[in-house]
């Protein structure tokens, strides 16, 4: 049976920069129509000039592929309405990181004082610029996301016209928050739909499955699957595909991130087929995102997948993908 996905979108993607950008960007631009590009480079993207320059480097890396990089800024509470108006045509969203909570987030937000954040967040609300958030506290690692739900609630209540995206949610508490606030939405990754903490550290440590936020309990994965597989209108696919060189993953101080870009469509198709919900795959991987991000223009592209074995390469350059060396049930047959 063939499955066709129209205009697949990845609403949370790390492309890095320099040689890594050149290596991994085509692995997304080949099969996806577009992606929300994370701004946590070193230094992070905080100005119009940096954003445009990065966008141009991405376009150079993808060549002739029919793909739109949806650009983001690294959140600063000092952004003015005038500045945001000047960059709005180049900007799709702003990404907020709690300080020091994940890769290259040292310049993020501390304290979450509403009044300090208010000028920028009110300007974003007025200009209809979505706010994407890596939602974790600095508490015990398994509780960090659940503890952050109260901050989501505070922001959703104080800024009811602001579109707030809970990025890469991993817990049943985050899923439950979705329906309590009209302006809360979420991205869900491939790996959090597939694994639990037991897969990461239940036996021999699997460094290529280590990520932040860390994979959680089976009941959390079940909650994610329930909303994704049902086509819930407030969730969308965001891979959080995060490439690191093999020596940075297989080392003391293992870098956080799972590289899934080259296998995302194949594995998602397999998951939705195995749960007898192929009719909801299109909503999860494209339609919902287009409704949530109201102002994006999506390039036309259709990807046809078929039930034919695909062996995942051991490496893409220096990067080891999820399921390296394993055989998947579905392959990409055609991109048109």
Predicted confidence (pLDDT) per residue in 142-159, tens digit: 999 999 999 999 999 999
The domain segmentation of the chain, as residue ranges, is 2-335
For the chain, state the CA radius of gyration.
19
Instruction: Name residue, tokens 């991000």.
Output: 293
For residues 145 and 261, give the distance between their C-alpha atoms in angstroms, rounded to a whole number.
24
Q: Which residues are catalytic?
A: 240
For residues 110 and 228, give the distance between their C-alpha atoms in angstroms, rounded to a whole number.
31
Predicted confidence (pLDDT) per residue in 229-239, tens digit: 999 999 999 99
pLDDT tens for the chain, 336 residues long, are 899 999 999 999 999 999 999 999 999 999 999 999 999 999 999 999 999 999 999 999 999 999 999 999 999 999 999 999 999 999 999 999 998 778 777 788 888 899 999 999 999 999 999 999 999 999 999 999 999 999 999 999 999 999 999 999 999 999 999 999 999 999 999 999 999 999 999 999 999 999 999 999 999 999 999 999 999 999 999 999 999 999 999 999 999 999 999 999 999 999 999 999 999 999 999 999 999 999 899 999 999 999 999 999 999 999 999 999 999 999 999 999
Q: Tell me which architecture the domain covering 2-335 has in CATH.
A: Alpha-Beta Barrel (3.20)
CB 65 within 8 A of CB 39: no
For residue 35, CA distances in Å to 109, 149, 207, 293, 324 come to 24, 25, 26, 12, 23
CB 240 within 8 A of CB 261: no
For residue 279, the model assigns a pLDDT of 97
Helix (H) or strand (E) holding 57, with range, is: helix 48-62
Q: Which of 144, 162, 169, 151 is nearest to 11 (CA)?
A: 169
For residues 202 and 222, give the distance between their C-alpha atoms in angstroms, rounded to a whole number.
18
Question: Could you tell me the two tokens for 14?
Answer: 């790390």
């Amino acid at each position: 049976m063939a499955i066709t996905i129209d205009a697949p979108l990845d609403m949370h993607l790390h492309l890095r920069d320099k040689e890594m950008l050149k290596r991994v960007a085509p692995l997304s631009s080949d099969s996806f129509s577009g992606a929300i590009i994370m701004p946590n480079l070193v230094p992070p993207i905080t100005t119009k000039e940096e954003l445009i320059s990065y966008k141009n480097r991405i376009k150079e890396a993808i060549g002739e592929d029919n793909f739109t990089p949806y650009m983001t800024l690294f959140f600063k509470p000092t952004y003015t309405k005038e500045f945001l108006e000047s960059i709005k045509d180049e900007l799709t969203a702003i990404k907020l990181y709690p300080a020091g909570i994940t890769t290259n987030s040292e310049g993020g937000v501390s304290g979450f004082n509403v009044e300090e954040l208010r000028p920028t967040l009110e300007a974003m609300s007025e200009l209809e610029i979505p706010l994407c958030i890596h939602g974790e506290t600095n508490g015990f690692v398994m509780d960090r996301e659940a503890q952050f739900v109260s901050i989501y609630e505070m922001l959703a209540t104080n800024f009811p016209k602001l579109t707030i995206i809970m990025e890469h949610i991993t817990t049943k508490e985050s899923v439950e928050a979705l329906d309590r606030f009209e302006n809360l939405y979420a991205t869900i990754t491939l790996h959090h739909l597939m694994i639990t903490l037991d897969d990461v550290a239940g036996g021999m440590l699997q460094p290529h499955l280590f990520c932040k936020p860390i994979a959680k309990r089976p009941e959390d994965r079940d909650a994610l699957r329930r909303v994704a597989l049902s086509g819930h209108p407030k969730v969308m696919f965001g891979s959080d595909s995060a490439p690191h060189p093999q020596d940075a993953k297989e080392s003391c101080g293992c870098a956080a991130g799972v590289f899934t870009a080259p296998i995302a469509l194949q594995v998602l198709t397999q998951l939705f087929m195995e749960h007898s919900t192929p009719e909801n795959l299109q909503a999860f991987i494209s339609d919902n995102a287009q409704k949530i991000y109201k102002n994006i223009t999506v390039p036309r592209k259709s990807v046809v997948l078929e039930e034919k074995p695909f062996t995942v390469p051991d490496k893409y350059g220096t990067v080891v993908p999820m399921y390296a060396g394993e055989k998947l049930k579905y392959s990409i047959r055609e991109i048109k």
